[in-house]
Amino acid sequence: MTDDAVEKIKSAYEFTEQFATKSWFAGEQFTIADICCVATISSLNEIYPIYAQKYPHLYAWLKRCSELDIYKKKNASVVANTGLVCSRLFYEAQKVSNMVLTLYKLDLSPPVRSVLMVIEHLNLPVQFVDVNFMKGEQLTNEFKKINPQHTVPTLTDDDFILGDSHAISVYLINKYGKDDSLYPSEPKLRAIVDQRLHFDSGILFPAIKYGFAQIVFKGGKKLTDDAIEKITSAYEFTEQFATKTWLAGEQFTIADICCVTTISSLNEIYPIDVQKYPHLYAWLKRCSELDLYKKCNDPGNKELGETFRSKLG
């Protein structure tokens, strides 16, 4: 195994160690958070065994899971608590002020812009705290106490802390939304929305992260074939998901919000070819005409594009 692969696995173990301090992954209740994570962690354990001394909580949690019949049979059906199960933090929130909702953000970040769009759509009063990446503020102990994964967006709602734009968006809608339009409760529609959200996490976001980092952080002068391949593949899949008015059908949902912030960022670093991806192009154009997009996505997206282009050779 390469050093690179071992580093990724260790980083996964380190984060998981911090999420695994209660009986189950999302607290005292066994949920799909356990199911989805244990399937991956147990596979990692097969290729790079977990060292019990170093990761005692992770080790104990994996053992607890592995004793369940459901684990042994590799067959599960458990109802989820949406939102909460998607991301867990077990640290004390640091209250910044009396305002209940606080969002730690950086406007250039696509996932931050998704949450900004949700906040705007729901018309929520939120206090914003900018995390200055240039000064490395995301890596300070102060911020890592709030989110050990040191990512933005991070939301605090009183003493509840949540990372990940998808989890935050779902939480805000579930808790503060006046209706279910952004995150439909009808099971099949919701499942499609969820699939798009995971598609953003698993395919779209890694493509922008990889391409952007190559040029902006690693001194590359042009996108490598590897980066272009990831972006092209992201466009090809999205083209196939974008054949209706909105990404999950005829209704505008957080599938559109979460994917458009990433796709528009990809478009800044590797423009979408309208001939090749006509549905994708038309969907992006439809999104970009919304006031919500203009107000919450445009400024940070332009900043991302300018930053990227300023570093190209």
User: Which residues in this chain contact ligand GSH in the complex, by CB under 6 A?
Assistant: 109, 111, 138, 150-153, 164-166, 201, 205
Phi-psi region of 233 (alpha: psi -120 to 50; beta: other; left: phi over 0): alpha
Q: Which residues of 277-295 are buried (b: 16+ CB within 10 A; e: fewer)?
A: beebbebbebbeebebbee
265 is catalytic: no
Q: How far is the CB of 167 from ligand GSH (least distance, A)?
A: 8
Q: Which is nearer to ligand GSH, 32 or 65 (CB)?
A: 32
Q: How far is the CB of 199 from ligand GSH (least distance, A)?
A: 12
What is the rounded CA–CA span in Å between residue 46 and residue 40?
Answer: 10
Q: What is the DSSP string of 16-32?
A: HHHH-SSSBTTBSS--H
Q: How far is the CB of 254 from ligand GSH (least distance, A)?
A: 12
Q: How far is the CB of 23 from ligand GSH (least distance, A)?
A: 25
272 three-state secondary structure: coil
Contact at 8 Å (CB) between 193 and 184? Answer: yes
Q: Which is nearer to ligand GSH, 211 or 281 (CB)?
A: 211
Q: Which is nearer to ligand GSH, 138 or 267 (CB)?
A: 138
Q: Which is nearer to ligand GSH, 71 or 308 (CB)?
A: 308
Contact at 8 Å (CB) between 212 and 308? Answer: yes
Question: Angle at the Cα of 193 (from 293 to 86), degrees rounded to 5?
Answer: 95
Contact at 8 Å (CB) between 135 and 149? Answer: no
Choosing from 109, 114, 169, 264, the catalytic residue is 109
- As annotated, the active-site residues are 109
